[in-house]
Structure 1
Amino acid sequence: MRIENSFIPVAGVGERTERRLWERGITHWDDFERDAVGETTGERIAAFIEDGRTHLDAGNARYFDSAFPSAHQWRLYENFREEACFFDIETTGLSHSRDDVTTVSLHRDGETRTLVNDPDPFVGDPLTREAVADALGDASLLVTFNGKRFDVPFLETTFDLSLDAPHIDLMYPCKRLDLTGGLKAVERDVGIERDRPDLSGYDAIRLWREYERGADESLETLVSYNRADTVNLRTLMDHVADALHDRTFAEFDAD
């Protein structure tokens, strides 16, 4: 489902009004005519479409991030899929004020990069403020799992950054599909496989401690685990977007 299929960002247009428009065959901005709704709502929709076209042409995801209700921000994905950055962090604990970030993996443009909290890591690149800002600062769309509560606050606190790009936290749209639990549980439910399904966040802490004591192979395992998280986020986001499309819009989609 694309942004251009949506009317719900407009004040006075809720899910029922949007659905009524779709039922009348108005499934795209190109189909809209002002007399399809009341005068005031029609003017608002027309103004939104005009502004929306300008912002889409400019690749401005922030405009739509602000415009869409939070429950429907997943609709940004199809338009900004290729500019999305999928990322995940590993840490030494759960407190972003006391614990450290150990690795950050990012999957973007089909490539995966890992930053490691070591000034000269034998795998990956050094984890620095500049590297994080460079990797995430120009992303049109961030995709995480529980990143709004965990990954982003951790990085902002650790590196004194403001990561305010549009952000789809997959934990919430997954709940709309009755997919609950942590990322690994959701992956199992939708059939995403891992090379090392036995590893968990607790193992990530153990592996880092082993690396600090000189076990290089533990860092290799940790990086592999962290990178799998980000690659799987892309697969999961594709699944969730398709499933929510089917639930929300597929019956009206003529394509």
Structure 2
Amino acid sequence: MIRNTYIHLPKVGLKKEFIIREQGINDWDDFLERDIKGISKKTKAFYDRKILEAKKELYEGNSAYFTDKVPTTETWRLYEFFKDEIVFLDIETSSSTSMESYLTVIGLYDGIDTKTMVKGINLNPAALKNELKKYKLIVTFNGSSFDLPYLNKKFPGLIPDIPHIDVRHLCNKAGLKGGLKEIEKQIGITRNNVIVERMYGGDPIKLWRMFRATGDKYYLDLLVEYNEEDVINLKKIAEYAIKKIKNKSYQSEKSPSKALTPESTSS
């Protein structure tokens, strides 16, 4: 998807991108080979240089190049290219109401294996920083509002300068509303661990407090399993939403009269 994206070019937004595609410019190679209506020769030459630059950075695996060039609402376009180098990330904290709380659990999922770090057991900021350096994209749910600002405040310099996909905003774009658990139900994802929901109200903070109060590893195991399901399901939801957005985009391009409505251009 990133290779038929033009919004990384200066002064090209969703509407102008649609106009480019409407001329049969389906990818960067098409763009380089053809003249484009509405773009002067001088601007086209400048854009050609920018596309060649983007191709070079993309094929060298430099996802950071796109961090400040692709709008945060459109970083999902990088997903397919970097799908084998993505980390799905979710954190748990000792309180949901204060930045004075502390990190209790952080879960990472690379699409195959999960890694979990727990305060007082194996949570090591230096090791975590090295782990995050391995990836090209970070995917969270509501991470632009909570997880990443929280981690940046608690551990400055921890988060690498790579694009971030917030699945909450991705779901809004795809017409899926609500929190992570509500969206899981909407698309038919069933959790293996129902004990947390039924007995502890789906509250990871309560599980951490019970573990700290009793020292009983049972509560910690429940918390870790709960967090693991969060990060694993993030991948399922992200891919469901991206497929839906791509289908919606394809239908819009087939129906130009719908494509430039305020609804389609605002997303």
Q: What are the superposed Cα offsets for residues 68-126 of structure 1, whole Å, 9 maximum, x if unpaired?
A: 1222111111111110000101111124531111111100151101101123xxxxxx0
Instruction: Tell me the equivalent position of 2:58.
Output: 56
Looking at structure 2, the residues matched to 127 and 208 of structure 1 have their Cα atoms a distance apart, in angstroms, of 15
Looking at structure 1, the residues matched to 92 and 53 of structure 2 have their Cα atoms a distance apart, in angstroms, of 40
TM-score by length of 1: 0.88
Instruction: Give the one of 132, 137, 141 matched to 1:136.
Output: 132
Looking at structure 2, the residues matched to 221 and 136 of structure 1 have their Cα atoms a distance apart, in angstroms, of 25
SS in 1 for 2:191: coil
Instruction: Tell me the equivalent position of 2:264.
Output: none
Instruction: Tell me the equivalent position of 1:149.
Output: 145
Q: CA RMSD in A?
A: 2.1
Contact preservation (8 Å) 1:10, 1:44: no
Cα gap change, 1:222 to 1:250, in 2 (>3 Å):
same
Looking at structure 1, the residues matched to 75 and 217 of structure 2 have their Cα atoms a distance apart, in angstroms, of 41
Contact preservation (8 Å) 2:18, 2:253: no
Instruction: Tell me the equivalent position of 1:123.
Output: none
1:1-255 correspondence to structure 2 within 5 Å: 2-32=1-31, 33-37=33-37, 38-39=39-40, 40-95=42-97, 97-119=99-121, 126-163=122-159, 164-197=161-194, 199=197, 203-212=203-212, 213-249=214-250
Cα gap change, 1:74 to 1:34, in 2 (>3 Å):
same
Cα gap change, 1:14 to 1:193, in 2 (>3 Å):
same
- Displacement of 1:251 in angstroms is 7.0
Looking at structure 1, the residues matched to 86 and 54 of structure 2 have their Cα atoms a distance apart, in angstroms, of 19
Looking at structure 2, the residues matched to 92 and 201 of structure 1 have their Cα atoms a distance apart, in angstroms, of 16
Cα gap change, 1:94 to 1:176, in 2 (>3 Å):
same
Contact preservation (8 Å) 1:96, 1:158: no
- Displacement of 1:16 in angstroms is 2.4
Contact preservation (8 Å) 1:34, 1:43: no
Contact preservation (8 Å) 1:3, 1:79: yes
Looking at structure 1, the residues matched to 71 and 129 of structure 2 have their Cα atoms a distance apart, in angstroms, of 27
Q: What are the superposed Cα offsets for residues 155-184 of structure 1, whole Å, 9 maximum, x if unpaired?
A: 223333341321111111211122222111
Q: How many residues align?
A: 246
TM-score by length of 2: 0.85
Contact preservation (8 Å) 2:82, 2:137: yes
Cα gap change, 1:249 to 1:47, in 2 (>3 Å):
farther
Looking at structure 1, the residues matched to 114 and 138 of structure 2 have their Cα atoms a distance apart, in angstroms, of 14
Looking at structure 1, the residues matched to 56 and 152 of structure 2 have their Cα atoms a distance apart, in angstroms, of 31
Cα gap change, 1:165 to 1:15, in 2 (>3 Å):
closer
Q: Which amino acid aligns with 1:127?
A: L
Identity of aligned residues (%): 35
- Displacement of 1:14 in angstroms is 2.4
Contact preservation (8 Å) 1:204, 1:222: yes
* Unaligned 5+ runs, structure 1: 120-125
- Displacement of 1:236 in angstroms is 1.0
* Unaligned 5+ runs, structure 2: 255-267
Contact preservation (8 Å) 1:88, 1:230: yes
SS in 2 for 1:35: coil
Contact preservation (8 Å) 2:72, 2:165: no
